[in-house]
Every structure is written in C-alpha cells, then in structure tokens.
Amino acid sequence: MLKITANTSKVYDILIGSNLIKDCGKYISEVVNPCKAMIVTDSNVGPLYADAVKEALCSAGFDVYIHTFEAGEKNKNIETVYNITLSLAENGFNRKDIVVALGGGVCGDMAGFASSIYMRGIRFIQVSTSILSDIDSSVGGKTGCDLPVGKNLIGAFHQPELVVIDTNVLTTLPKHFYNDGMGEAIKYGVIAPSDLMDKICDDIDIEQLIFECVDIKRKVVENDEKEQGERKLLNFGHTLGHAIEKYYNFDKYTHGEAVAIGMCMISDAAFANGYCDKTVGDKIRIACKRFSLPTECDAPIEELSKIALSDKKSTSSGIDFVLPRTVGKCEIVNIKKEDILPFLKKGIK
Ligand code: GLY
C-alpha cells in the first residue's frame, strides 16, 4: 500500500492499494472512533461494493447505514444533496458521526457537500472507485453539486478525514472509464515538472500512476487550498473542456474526453500566441490518442468562448486561462473578455 499525507487545513492520509475496501473499516477506525456511518453511494457502485464496505465498517465497530441515489451527472443536484441530509437526520446522525462516500466524483462531491452542511459540518471519508476521482476529485476538499445553469455552482471546501483508493475496483471499470481518467492524468503531466508524460505513454503501473498524480495534486492544494492562485493550474484544459461538455449537453463527451480536447485546443492557442512551441500540443495529442481520447470536436470556437464566459470561473476582468510553456510547466494568464475570442481563434480552426 502507498500512502500520501495531505497537509491542508486538515491533515489526512490518502491510501492507495489493491483490495483496500476489504479492510477499509480498520483504516477508517484509525482516524475516527466507531460511531454511526452513512455509506453514500450510487445505483451503479452500490450493488458492487456497498455490502463489502458495510461489512468492513461493522467489523470495526461502526453502526452502518446506506443511502443510495440514482447514478449520473444529471442527478448531481441539490435535491440529491437534500435527500442525503434528510437520510442523516432521519437516522439520528449527529456531529460525532460520519459519512462515507463510496463512488466516483459525482458521489464524492455530493456526499462531501452534504457532510459540509449537515449540522454545519460533519466528518466524511472518501472511498474512491473511479480513476477520475482517485487522481482528482477525492483529494483536495472541493465538494458541491450542479445548478441547471452550470456545473459545480454550489459547494464548499470540506476536506475528508481519509481517502481510500482501492485500485482493484478499477478492474471492474469498462475500458472507456479507464481512458476517461487518463485525460486528467495527462493534465498532471503537463502542469508539473516530472517524467509523468513519458510514463503515461509507456506502460506505467496503475498504482504508481495514481500515486504520482495525487502527489502533484497534494502539493498544489497544500500551497493554495482555496484556489486563489496556484490551484488554478489544475484547471488546465478545463475552461474549454467544461464548455465542450455543456455545448453537447453532457451527452457526447465524458469529462476526461472533453478535457482532452480542451487541452489540445488551448495548447494550439498558446502556440499561436507565442507561449509555447508546437511540440507541446503534439505531445498531448500523442498521449490522448494512446488512450483513444478525442483531440478535436466540431463545436464552433465562438460558441465555446461564449459558454466559457458564462462559467463561474469567468470574472469582470476576464478568464484566467492555464497556458502551457512546456510539457511540465504552465502559467496562469488572465485574458480580458474582449481578447478571449481573438486569442483562441488565432490557434483553433
Ligand atoms: N479539480 C480541480 C481542483 O480540485 O482544484
């Protein structure tokens, strides 16, 4: 088992290894005294792993409840969060009790958000079951849900007590989920100095890959927990990626696929505007293709730019874009509203 300790406003461990779910009760009891534990999971993951997590928690002395919601981004809304809090209240949970988020990013974000507002905040644990949540959303304390007008528009920073990443569960993931997660892995290879990009293109062991991505995220979040500066680097490829997801009504491209296209597009724009050389975009494309990730789409750049300007990350002074300088180094550059379309159009056909 590999372990990373995050030194944020809360200090917590991230455990990475095979078959950790079986013993997760033991790991959780090392950070939380036995109490009531609500496993929050979705209709895809619950049937596969909720019983195993329940058994592990019961053996460690926890009094265990399960709340299951309908899987899917379309259910990442305030009603689902409300139902989680209602379930906590109806089962007599108090501030000493815990929530255990069992699932991918949608589940972790909402279970974490429900924990942050229930009784003004109770503790929660992340038991992550997708590569996307393993290397991104389970770490760093961003929790929340969507509004009809945009993704993650309500939420809170609420750090978990522990993150458990069981690499064995990844074997039950269909291939495209695996590839989807690699979109975020490629992002880490571009934003931080390491040999990650080369390793991604070779046959890297999955446990080691998750470890290296999480460790990059840990450093960024430790330096800038509330995203005032450096943490924005984690949004590389995401400004256009989110716009792409939205343009296609979250139907055509998954998150990792949209981020892959977003990274290629913004690298082309960065090259055309003199921020980096062409090899950056070329390398990203090679890595994306290795995992069958798309590198372009037919959405007009005018539309993507419009959607980006309505995103929560857009301010009156424009948008902070993450632009690559080289593979391994990016810069946060504020581009004024009126300059965004010309900037993008210069590099994106
Ligand atoms: N997913 C980006 C962040 O955690 O800041």
Rounded CA-CA distance 11/134 in Å is: 18
Mutate to test the pocket of ligand 1, among 133, 136, 152, 218 (most ligand atoms within 8 A of CB): 136
Task: State the closest ligand 1 atom to the C-alpha of 227, by its place in the atom list counted from 1.
Answer: 5
**Distance, CA 136 to ligand 1 centroid (Å)?**
6
Residue 349 has pLDDT above 80, yes or no: no
Residue spans of alpha helices (H) in 170-251:
175-191, 196-201, 206-223, 238-247
Give the number of the atom of ligand 1 that is nearest the alpha carbon of residue 139: 4
Give the rounded percent of residues in the chain with a pLDDT score beyond 90.
Answer: 88
pTM, to two decimals: 0.94
Given CA atoms 131, 291, 273, 315 in this order, what sign does their dihedral have?
Answer: negative
In this model, does residue 247 exceed pLDDT 80? yes
Give the nearest ligand 1 atom to 140 CA: 4
Per-residue confidence (pLDDT) for residue 339, from 0 to 100: 96
Q: In the structure, which protein residues have their CB atom closer than 6 angstroms to any atom of ligand 1?
A: 136, 140, 142, 227, 231, 234
If we measure between CA atoms, which residue out of 187, 164, 159 comes closest to residue 280? 187
pLDDT in tens, 62-118: 999 999 999 988 899 999 999 999 999 999 999 999 999 999 999 999 999 999 999
How far apart (Å, rounded) are the C-alpha atoms in residues 115 and 118?
Answer: 5
- Least confident range from 157-171, 174-188, 212-226: namely 174-188
pLDDT for the residue 173: 81
Residue 245 pLDDT: 93
DSSP-derived letter for residue 33 is -
Percent of the chain's residues with pLDDT above 70: 100
For residue 178, name the pLDDT band (cuts at 50, 70, 90).
confident
N-to-C CA span, the chain = 46
Phi first, then psi, for residue 13 (nearest 5°) are -95, 150
Going by alpha carbons, the residue nearest to atom 2 of ligand 1 is: 234
Half-sphere exposure of 97 (CA within 13 A, CB side): 19
* Owner of token pair 């139902």: 83
pLDDT band of 323, cuts 50, 70, 90: very high
Among 52, 12, 252, 72, which Cα is nearest to 166's?
Answer: 52
Instruction: Please provide the average confidence, as pLDDT, over all residues in the chain.
Output: 95
pLDDT in tens, 118-143: 999 999 999 999 999 999 999 999 99
Query: Token pair of 59, please?
Result: 């053996």
Q: How confident is the model at residue 162 (pLDDT cuts 50, 70, 90)?
A: very high
Nearest to residue 51, comparing CAs of 102, 16, 98? 102
Q: How many angstroms is it from 220 CA to the middle of ligand 1? A: 10
Q: Are strands 63-69 and 36-42 parallel, antiparallel or unpaired?
A: parallel
How sure is the predictor about 233, in pLDDT bands with cuts at 50, 70 and 90? very high
> Residue for token digits 């030194």?
7
CA of 59 to the centre of ligand 1 (A): 34
**Nearest atom in ligand 1 to 232's CA:** 5
Q: In this predicted structure, which of 192-201, 234-243, 252-261 has the lowest mean pLDDT?
A: 192-201
177 confidence band (pLDDT: 50, 70, 90): confident
Query: DSSP alpha helices (H): ranges in 91-161?
Result: 105-117, 131-132
Distance of alpha carbon 142 from alpha carbon 112, whole angstroms: 8
Residue 175 Cα, ligand 1 centroid: separation in angstroms? 24
φ/ψ of 274, rounded to 5, equals: 80, 20
Domains of the chain: 2-172 (3.40.50.1970), 175-345 (1.20.1090.10)
Q: Which of 134, 213, 217 to mutate to test the pocket of ligand 1 (most atoms within 8 A of CB)?
A: 217
Q: For residue 176, name the pLDDT band (cuts at 50, 70, 90).
A: confident
Sorting pLDDT into bands at 50, 70 and 90, what band is 310?
Answer: confident
For residue 258, report the distance from its CA to the centre of ligand 1, in Å. 16
Is 317 or 156 the better-scoring residue by pLDDT? 156
Q: Whose CA is nearest to atom 3 of ligand 1?
A: 234
Query: Quick one: pLDDT band at residue 300, thresholds 50, 70, 90?
Result: very high
Residue 312: pLDDT over 80: no
Q: Would you tell me how many other CB atoms lie within 10 Å of the CB of residue 62? A: 24
Judged against a pLDDT cut of 90, whether residue 211 lies above it is answered with: yes
